[in-house]
Amino acid sequence: MAAMGLRRRVVALIAVAIALSPGLARGAHLPVQEALLRAKPAVALVVSEVAADVRMTCGTAETRVAPTPFRETGTGWIVDPRGYLLTNAHVVQPAYSTPIWIIHSLTRKAVEAACVPLMLAKLGLDRGERPDIEEQLKHQAFEAALPTATTRIEPAVFVVLSNGKRFQAEVSKYSPPVAGSEMSGRDLALLRIEAQDLPVLPLGDSKAAQIGDPLHILGFPGVVLSHELLNASAKVEASVTNGAISGFKEDVGGNPVIQTDAPAAWGNSGGPAVNMHGEVTGVLTFVSLAPGPEGSIVQGFNFVIPSSLVSGFVDGTGINVNATSRFNTAWYSGLRDFFDQRYRRATRHFQAADGIQPGFPDVKRLLADASGRPTPVPWGWIAGALAGISLAGFVGISGLRWQQNRYRISPAQVVALVEGPNPPAILDVRAGASFARSPLVIPNSIRVSLEELRDSPGSLPIEPGQTVVAYCT
């Protein structure tokens, strides 16, 4: 029974240790700063680009023009360290299934760029000199050149990590976005890039989410991406907006969506919504617009595809949504040490993470911060150690005293033995000098020296089985 109780206590202590350590149990509550820093390196900018080569006839000569490519940006996040990312289907749709209106737009741009300057030159005008005439010439050029134009498009999807690395991506799986007034799919796309040991962001359990749970949307809003006062490196580092789960709804196709009041903007599409465990609760899919043909985004009413649908979407693709990577191992360990103020150890982990995937802004920032901070004196550990040493000394002294006194009995116990049916043999083994000076005389005792007791114990008048009580100083 004692062993069973000990095992129960050991199991309980292990369970408590797991519950208290954020590094031991996936899904443990994390400080919000640590949860977001875990997530940010795995969030990537997704660029859907359509380039074109347009041939047309301007006047009598055939002209070939490559207009400025069409580009649309969104957000994705790495779900498998072997180079797999998830985003919205509508983010990659221009390149995956190029709409006809994009081709028409590129063709018109090419006609305007090639034909209008020739027509202005014949009139002796420069671009912008006579906007009214230039507008008329555009219409004339479109009427004359568009019927003869042939356009060859070159669609591509690119992924830009926050360390500045750019990869061309392949669309591995695609579920269509909104089509007209109905949802025709789950608005998800799985991308593949050629890379290994990438930062990853694990999926959480959206079925366990509740109204009021904190939610953080990470992504690349267009207002930040195109901000004229930010440098290029800052633009490819994910921004974070904060809010909470405000409802559980269904889209018009009957698919569940999570409503959140976390702000979002154009460019956030496909971004992960991260919970307080540092896991993905869902993927931002659509926002709410004000009434009107050019309605602005109404903040506070944005919608997220639950992670349960994401798990269903990637089933059968061969990717591991619970995979980790060497980068994650080093990065997570460094963050844990950093927030526990173990800066020397944190520095080593951050250096390891930077060696695996160099140049991530958060890694560089925390590496510089940790290496510049002295590890504080662990007064708590020192106090605990001193307390432990004191306790060990107390236990040792107590044990020694018990060892010395384990056969010692009190005078009252001696009297009880003397008055009992089997009186003991009482030996007076005081040292000679102490015996001579002491007025104490023990009745019916046997006077014997320590030497006599050691050298000839068999000569003492003690019956077999009789209790012996020795008195000494």
Q: Are 333 and 24 in contact (CB under 8 A)?
A: no
Q: Is the pLDDT of residue 11 over 70?
A: no
Rg, Å, the chain Cα set: 41
Q: Are 214 and 279 in contact (CB under 8 A)?
A: no
pLDDT tens, position by position, 62-107: 888 999 999 999 999 999 999 999 999 999 999 999 999 999 999 9
Q: Is the pLDDT of residue 14 over 60?
A: no
Of 284, 103, 68, 92, residue with least CA distance to 169: 92
Cβ contacts of 392 within 8 Å, gap of 6 or more: none
Of 345, 348, 351, residue with least CA distance to 364: 351
pLDDT tens, position by position, 139-185: 888 888 888 889 999 999 999 999 999 999 999 999 987 664 444 56
pLDDT tens, position by position, 407-463: 787 777 777 777 778 788 787 778 777 777 777 777 777 787 777 777 777 777 777
Confidence of residue 358 (pLDDT cuts 50, 70, 90): very high
Q: Are 428 and 471 in contact (CB under 8 A)?
A: yes
**Fold observed for domain 25-314:** Thrombin, subunit H (2.40.10)
pLDDT: which is higher, 371 or 428: 371
Using the 8-state DSSP alphabet, how is residue 15 labeled?
H
Taking the CB of residue 386, how many other CB atoms lie within 10 A of it? Answer: 10
CA 47 vs. chain centroid, Å, equals 25
Interatomic CA distance for residues 322 and 34, integer angstroms: 19
pLDDT tens, position by position, 202-256: 999 988 889 999 999 999 886 555 555 455 565 678 889 999 999 998 877 778 8
* Most trustworthy range by pLDDT among 27-31, 59-63, 195-199, 296-300: 195-199
Phi and psi of 191, rounded to 5°?
-110, 155
Of 449, 452, 457, residue with least CA distance to 431: 449
Of 200, 216, 206, residue with least CA distance to 282: 206
pTM over 0.85: no
Q: Are 98 and 106 in contact (CB under 8 A)?
A: no
Domain boundaries, the chain: 25-314, 328-371, 377-407, 411-471
Q: Are 313 and 270 in contact (CB under 8 A)?
A: no
DSSP 424-466: PEEEE---HHHHHH-----TT-EE--HHHHHH-GGGS---TT-
Phi and psi of 240, rounded to 5°?
-125, 130
Q: Tokens standing for 155?
A: 């669609």
How many alpha carbons fall within 13 Å on the CB side of residue 14?
Answer: 6
The predicted pLDDT at position 378 comes to 67
Using the 8-state DSSP alphabet, how is residue 266 labeled?
T
- Length of the chain equals 473
CA distances, 310 to each of 258, 280, 329, 465 (Å): 13, 10, 24, 84
Interatomic CA distance for residues 197 and 330, integer angstroms: 11
Q: Are 186 and 313 in contact (CB under 8 A)?
A: yes
Interatomic CA distance for residues 77 and 278, integer angstroms: 13
